[in-house]
Structure 1
Amino acid sequence: MEQLLSALPHNPLVAFTILLMVTLILPPIFEKLRLPGLVGLLFAGVILGKDGLHLLDPHSESIKLLSDIGKIYLMFVAGLEIDMAEFRRTKDRSLGFGMMTFLIPLLAGILVSRLFNFSWNTSFLIGSLLASHTLLGYPIVQRLGVVKNQSVMVTIGATIFTDIAALLVLAICVSIHAGQFSAASLMFQLVALGLYAVAVLFGLDWGGREYFRRTGDEESNQFLFVLFAVFLVSVAAQIINVDKIVGAFLAGLAINDVLGNGPVKEKVEFLGSTLFIPFFFVGMGLLLDIPSFLTTMRFQFPLVIGIVGGLIGSKFGAALTAKTLYRYSWHEGLTMWSLSLPQVAATLAAALVAYQAKNTAGERLINEAVFNSVIVLMLVTSILGPVLTSKFAPKLPIPKTVKEDSQKSGTSLEEWLPQSHSAMPSSPFRLVIPIYNPHTQRDLIEMGALIARRKSGFIVPVSIATAHVHMDDPQLNNHLQQSQALLERALQISQEFDVQAQPTIRIDDDVAQGISRTAREKDANLIIMGWSQNTGLRARLFGTVIDTIFWSSHCPVAVMRLLDKPINLHRLLVPVRDISPAIVGIIRFAQLLANANEGSVTLLHVCDRKTSPEQIASFKEELMAVIEESGFQAKCKIKIIAHDDVGKVITRASTAFDLVILRSFRRRTAGGLAVSDLTTELLKKLTCSLVLFGEPRS
């Protein structure tokens, strides 16, 4: 038994199983305690390592490999998540703030390090650890709808400069520590690094676009191409004597534009956040020496305070300088400070590289005291940063960018307006309605007819017959006969409402693609579908027909769960989180439906309790402008409620309405369409009729 237990830490399968268990269980527990999930992973590493249960050996080949992959993946995703489009829009100010929030903490770190008698090389390295930042507060500003605020965009864009500069300093410091420093070697290293960066940023971008263009929709091969590219670039970085995390970050920047927000990016990030990145944090915990950590906290506490305080103070100084230079408000300046505080991704990865870097004498680039101080820095800033962001960001003005974003994304808001108010050329409004369920057929045709009649358009009922190898196959003949019967019934219903119909039968291998292709061929303005709750194995693995149509369609899609006849749906509720082209499109759709049905629309906005009265008034004023610009005669009112539980407020409010219209996002994972957690919750709890509305490019 003792032999078995002693062999466990060295068994790769046992180690992998333990890592999976830890990743599954601990992060949710720590998040319920209002602590970052990564703190739980570090804690697990400590408990399972040499100072705990001895179940994992940090020096085993399997743990080293998984930790290295996680470190590479962490930096790759850090580069991948940077919004290059937003960076280009604010590149001048982003580079300006990036230099401030890099140089000021760098100088602070050097000063603190020299006060504690560290060498110049180590001092520069410690300064670079303070200079980067991780955008842990991004989900908060996204939820508040202030991502488009210029100060937030500038802070996000500055991440590119700070991370690249910090990694460059790391590469040089590691090279110097290894004893390879001279003027000639430094020049050679810089030239090699420059050529390498150019080759990665431009070569990988071009190669990725070519490969994706040639492979079309082969997502599996594209996913493998991305993984291959990341690790190839990381290996190439080591060849020129640069740490692999530098290559991984550059690969993320290079592939950023290639992937966009498509399904391959979803798969790449899912694999990293679910598997490899958690392994890296557990590996960090395994390297922590608890006696040494306690000794650092007891005898070298001034060093810990100096590094943590230096980071907090210098980041505040950088944000204050940017606020003054760019004439931002105090709330904007403080939000920039809070967003640039957290030190996680680049800081931890670089600290681990520096800690493991040894010279010929066996001396580490940074000692255990500094490494332990960086862990404390990560814990403090990963908690403090989001807390401060949630305090300052609600007071930012919500930017008014609907028209600009609409033009950039190609979303046509005018097509929902009444004909007399539309700037678009007069053309019939076309609705494609897939027919496959006789029980929901009448309600869908009736709903389409109401909208088409109001827009002076027509409907296209479409039935998909599954293709066979032989076109004279008896089973195909049966499918065609069934489709013909469904379409004849659809034509009868449309005639009852005096609306023109163009019934269509399509033979296709894939039902969802057949519907999307028909909509494109007919140049449809809208697809109306019935609700389907297919939860079988195939749906879980590959998604449903609805998922695929949401993802592939060129026009908006409205998926309807109707519990009453469409003509009886008079009171419409539209939850509004922010004001974007997609949300305005949903409001226009709701107004059109209410206008056709002589109903009313209520726009419900649930804001944070900390939202200022000025912000609420500004948001209400902009919503009123959206309503007034529509030209619809339908009654429309606005309701704003301050509450912490958005889902609870919407569920409670829905009891007084006939129909709720929710928004979906066109993001796809291996298991289908990825809607927000809030939308998923509402789909389960709402007891009235609902429409799940999705726009292309949303």
Structure 2
Amino acid sequence: MEFFSHLPILTSFALTLMLTLVFPSLMERLHLPRPVGYILAGIILGPSVLSVLNPEGKVVTFFAELGKLLLMFFAGFEVNIAKFNEARHRAATFGLLTFAWPFALAIAVAATIGYSANSCAVIGAILASHTLLGLPIVKEKGLIDHEVAVVTVGATLFTDMLSILVLALCVPIHVRGFDPAGVLVTLLWLAIYVPGVLIGLSWLVKRLLTVFGISRVSSALIMLLVMAFAAQVAEWIGMEGIIGAFLAGVSLKRAFGEIKGDDSLEIMSQALFIPVFFIAAGFLVDFKIFLATLRDQPWLVLGVLAALFGGKWLAAAITARLFAYGKFERDLMFALTVPQVAATLAVALVAYGTRNAAGERLIDQPMLNATVVLVIVTSLVGLVLTERAARQMEQAAPAPGPAGTADGLPEAAPGLQSES
């Protein structure tokens, strides 16, 4: 495809925009999430097919890095702090369970296949998080204020945070080797850094909003400034920038409070920077290696899928039993936590790009390919299961009344309106 590799830059840009418009829309018609379309566009535009975009190009690299940070930033910014506090104990319980079970099962699968202990932990972190792709379905069915929706969305904060923290510990171990003192230093930095960002940046942003106001330009610049600062400090202390970006999002949400910030930055991010991040993920998919992974290492793919589905199901079942939730509520919690997109890809790509002194990656190409399969399968299955569970809950809901509740369905509680 020599011809496409020498296209004028504006032609390449126009072709990229066209594919990022067409493919995600096609995926939605097939009931798949938009990021799958972006990944497909990246495969076609990348070195494996047309070679329209240069994966090593400075513009593509910068846009992809910025998109990755903005993806995690808005995941944190969408957390409704006030409503999260209303169900924080149940959300924390479910969050810990829906992190721990897939994490443990994934480690068992990876260890059986022969990955190192450090790589096993990262693979566990990749599977432990989730993306609330089914939340629009829950909103459409009028169940967003139900307690299980509150608990599940709140749990997302815990799973994403824990997954990112595991990555923060494993990356320096892989690069510099295991050093007990180094691990303690990393934990100490985390203990200082996390509250420092959540509390310190919230205070700083409030001061900046007072000085510069909340106009479209100033609010967007403040968001970018705080995100970049938090990400850079995270890298200075040996962690990944996505940790700082996520915490910066939560911090800004606390600072803005009930003030509705301008959404121009989010619109631009969703239209350009975040799609480029997923397109860059598509660059890494080599069809020969991808198909070889499915052919030669089917147990890796099947094991990863089994660990994910089994772990998320156990977490939902245990939580439902602990808090006396009904069958349909359990099914909805399970369905919402199945899809793996945002944090999953962010953690996987950071781990794949991390090399030690010997040039060995933290996770290898087959595991990255298995992650792509995981994203596609869990997105499709999760959305189907969410639609089914939400419909069943909607049908079982009581008629409107001051005190009515359905059999086996607790009274609805205020819910979070956020998605990771």
**Fold match by TM threshold 0.5:** yes
Q: CA deviation at 1:19?
A: 3.0
Q: CA deviation at 1:395?
A: 2.9
What's 1:364 paired with?
361
Q: Deviations 1:313-353 (Å, cap 9, x if unpaired)?
A: 11000000101111111111111101111111111000000
Alignment map for 1:268-667 (pairs within 5 Å): 268-396=265-393, 611-612=394-395, 614-615=396-397, 618-621=398-401
Q: CA deviation at 1:265?
A: 4.4
Indicate how the Cα distance of structure 1 residues 198 and 621 shifts in structure 2: closer, same or farther if over 3 A, else same.
closer
1: CA distance, partners of 2:289 / 2:164: 27
2: CA distance, partners of 1:81 / 1:145: 19
Contact 2:164 2:347 in 1 (8 A): yes
What's 1:646 paired with?
none
Q: CA RMSD in A?
A: 2.0
2: CA distance, partners of 1:271 / 1:258: 22
Larger Rg: 1 or 2? Answer: 1
**Alignment equivalent of 1:161, drawn from 158, 165, 170:** 158
2: CA distance, partners of 1:32 / 1:5: 29
What's 1:131 paired with?
128
2: CA distance, partners of 1:190 / 1:12: 45
Q: CA deviation at 1:264?
A: 2.7
What's 2:415 paired with?
none
Do residues 85 (structure 1) and 64 (structure 2) align? Answer: no
Aligned residues: 404
**Alignment equivalent of 2:51, drawn from 36, 54, 61:** 54
2: CA distance, partners of 1:377 / 1:62: 29
Do residues 31 (structure 1) and 28 (structure 2) align? Answer: yes
Q: Deviations 1:91-128 (Å, cap 9, x if unpaired)?
A: 11111111101111110010000110111111111011
Q: Which moved more, 1:293-302 or 1:15-24?
A: 15-24
Contact 1:100 1:318 in 2 (8 A): yes
**Alignment equivalent of 1:143, drawn from 136, 140, 145:** 140
Q: CA deviation at 1:267?
A: 2.1
Amino acid at match of 2:384: V
What's 2:96 paired with?
99
Contact 2:41 2:282 in 1 (8 A): yes
What's 1:254 paired with?
251
What's 2:40 paired with?
43
1:386 match: secondary structure = helix
Q: Deviations 1:500-524 (Å, cap 9, x if unpaired)?
A: xxxxxxxxxxxxxxxxxxxxxxxxx
Q: CA deviation at 1:217?
A: 4.4
Contact 2:64 2:276 in 1 (8 A): yes
2: CA distance, partners of 1:259 / 1:305: 44
2: CA distance, partners of 1:305 / 1:159: 24
2: CA distance, partners of 1:386 / 1:261: 31
What's 1:406 paired with?
none
Q: Deviations 1:340-377 (Å, cap 9, x if unpaired)?
A: 11111111000000001111111111111100000000
Q: Which moved more, 1:136-145 or 1:17-26?
A: 17-26
Do residues 197 (structure 1) and 183 (structure 2) align? Answer: no
Q: CA deviation at 1:231?
A: 1.1
Amino acid at match of 2:74: V
Q: CA deviation at 1:20?
A: 2.4
Q: Runs in 1 of length 4+ with deviation above 6 angstroms?
A: none
For normalisation by structure 2, the TM-score amounts to 0.92
2: CA distance, partners of 1:330 / 1:392: 9
2: CA distance, partners of 1:188 / 1:99: 24
Q: Deviations 1:273-292 (Å, cap 9, x if unpaired)?
A: 12211111111101111110
Contact 2:76 2:250 in 1 (8 A): yes
Q: CA deviation at 1:262?
A: 4.9
Amino acid at match of 1:78: A
Q: Deviations 1:76-102 (Å, cap 9, x if unpaired)?
A: 111111221221001111111111011
2: CA distance, partners of 1:233 / 1:106: 27
The runs of 5 or more residues in structure 2 that have no matched partner are 405-420
Q: CA deviation at 1:258?
A: 2.6
Amino acid at match of 2:64: S
Amino acid at match of 2:335: S
Contact 2:107 2:123 in 1 (8 A): yes
1: CA distance, partners of 2:399 / 2:277: 42
What's 1:678 paired with?
none
Contact 1:27 1:38 in 2 (8 A): yes
Which one has the bigger strand percentage? 1
Indicate how the Cα distance of structure 1 residues 23 and 372 shifts in structure 2: closer, same or farther if over 3 A, else same.
same
Q: Which moved more, 1:214-223 or 1:179-188?
A: 214-223
Higher relative contact order (CA 8 A, sep 6+): 2
What's 2:408 paired with?
none
Amino acid at match of 2:250: L
Q: CA deviation at 1:183?
A: 1.0
Q: Which moved more, 1:264-273 or 1:133-142?
A: 264-273
Contact 1:234 1:248 in 2 (8 A): yes
**Alignment equivalent of 1:211, drawn from 208, 212, 219:** 208
**Alignment equivalent of 1:245, drawn from 242, 246, 261:** 242
What's 2:63 paired with?
66
1:264 match: secondary structure = coil
Contact 1:259 1:265 in 2 (8 A): no
Q: Deviations 1:192-216 (Å, cap 9, x if unpaired)?
A: 1221112211111111122223334
What's 2:223 paired with?
226
Indicate how the Cα distance of structure 1 residues 279 and 6 shifts in structure 2: closer, same or farther if over 3 A, else same.
closer
The runs of 5 or more residues in structure 1 that have no matched partner are 397-610, 625-698
1: CA distance, partners of 2:142 / 2:228: 36
Amino acid at match of 2:133: L
1: CA distance, partners of 2:10 / 2:231: 26
